[in-house]
Amino acid sequence: METVPIIKIDEFLIVPVQIELNDEIMRNLQEKLVKLIKSLTPKGVLIDLSAVTMIDSFMARTIGNLASLSKLFDAKTVVVGIQPEIAITLVEMGVTLKNVTTALNVEKGMEMLRTNKNYENNNKIR
Partner 1 sequence: MRTTIKSDKIPIKFENDIGLIRKYTREYSIEANFSLLDQTKIITAASELARNTFQYAKNGIATIELLKDEDKTGVSLFFKDEGPGIKDVNLAMQEGYSSISHLGSLGLGLPGAKRLVNEFYILSESGKGTEIKIIRWK
Q: Which long-range CB contacts under 8 A does 50-54 form with residues at least 24 apart?
A: 50/80, 50/81, 50/82, 50/83, 50/105, 51/16, 51/17, 51/18, 51/19, 51/81, 52/17, 52/20, 52/21, 52/81, 52/82, 52/83, 52/86, 53/20, 53/83, 53/86, 54/20, 54/86
Q: Of 39, 92, 124, 125, which one interacts with partner 1 (CB under 8 A)?
A: 92
Stretch that binds partner 1, among 10-18, 21-29, 71-79, 100-108 (CB under 8 A): 21-29
Nearer to partner 1, 92 or 121 (CB): 92
107 binds partner 1 (CB under 8 A): no
- Residue ranges in contact with partner 1 by CB under 8 A: 20, 22-24, 53-58, 85-86, 88-89, 92-95
